[in-house]
């Protein structure tokens, strides 16, 4: 069995995210929202099987960070985990996008 709070804290540590960096927790559409402290109270009592089979934790659950990144739930064949997402940012020294990059590295001549 996996505890949702323990799993979440481990994911934060893996990505070097401090609890103070969390803005809010809720559903992706923002309809349901909690503070980080409120979420911890909820998550500490949720134990579930994160192995293959059915998923248990809402897939639209997100943890939004103050820097604009977020953690979202992912699922494959019933296995569940948090995944960090960030808005892509153009690099200072970028290269021009070209047909070879867009077409998966293949050049059709």
4-20, pLDDT tens digit by residue?
999 999 999 999 999 99
CA 10 to chain centroid, in Å, comes to 13
Rounded Cα distance between 9 and 104, Å, is: 36
**Does residue 100 surpass a pLDDT of 70?**
yes
- For residue 103, what pLDDT band results from cuts at 50, 70 and 90? confident
pTM: 0.82
């Amino acid at each position: 069995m996996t505890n949702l709070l323990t799993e979440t804290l481990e994911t934060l540590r893996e990505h070097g995210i401090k609890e103070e960096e969390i803005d809010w927790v809720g559903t992706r559409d923002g309809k349901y929202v909690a503070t980080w402290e409120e979420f911890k109270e909820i998550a500490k009592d949720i134990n579930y099987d994160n192995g293959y089979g059915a998923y248990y934790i809402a897939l639209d659950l997100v943890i939004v960070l103050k820097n604009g990144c977020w953690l979202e739930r992912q699922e494959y064949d019933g296995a569940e985990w948090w995944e960090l997402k960030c808005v892509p940012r153009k690099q200072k020294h970028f290269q021009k996008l070209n047909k070879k990059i867009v077409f998966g590295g293949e050049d059709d001549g």
